[in-house]
Amino acid sequence: MSLVKSLTLILTTLWLTAQTALAAGGGGDLIVIVADSRKLSGIMAWWANLYNESHLYFTLLTIILIPLIGVIFGVLADIVMHFVGIDLKTRDLAEH
């Protein structure tokens, strides 16, 4: 491709890109994301209201609760497997 064709292509692309970027007009309104808690009750309403009131507290509580619930479910699964007769602590590896 010649130099003139390359420059023409680049300048045309920049010109069209600038027009597309400016076509949006002025600044828009801020987007507000909220949880609809009108039909919720109990802990679900509390969780939705916590999200609406403070994203920081919601995030911190979520970061704490997810690993905690994972550990609880893991321990419960280990207890259930023990009662069923599955023992993963003293198994022989078939791969070796």
H helices of 1-96, in order, are: 3-22, 43-53, 55-84
Q: Would you say residue 65 has pLDDT above 70?
A: yes
d(CA 70, CA 72): 5
In a domain, 54, yes or no: yes
In a domain, 90, yes or no: no
Chain segment 3-61, per-residue pLDDT in tens: 888 888 888 887 777 666 666 666 667 888 888 889 999 999 999 999 999 989 999 99
Q: What are the structure tokens assigned to 96, written together?
A: 């070796």
| pLDDT score recorded for residue 15 | 77
Q: Would you say residue 87 has pLDDT above 70?
A: yes
d(CA 45, CA 48): 5
| pLDDT score recorded for residue 26 | 64
| pLDDT score recorded for residue 22 | 65
| Tokens 């280990």 -> residue | 78
Q: 39 lies in which domain range? A: 3-84
In a domain, 92, yes or no: no
In a domain, 43, yes or no: yes
Higher pLDDT, 91 or 16: 16
In a domain, 27, yes or no: yes
Q: What are the structure tokens assigned to 73, written together?
A: 């479910």
Q: What are the structure tokens assigned to 42, written together?
A: 């109990």
Give the residue-averaged pLDDT of 83-94: 77
Higher pLDDT, 62 or 87: 62
- The number of folded domains in the chain is 1
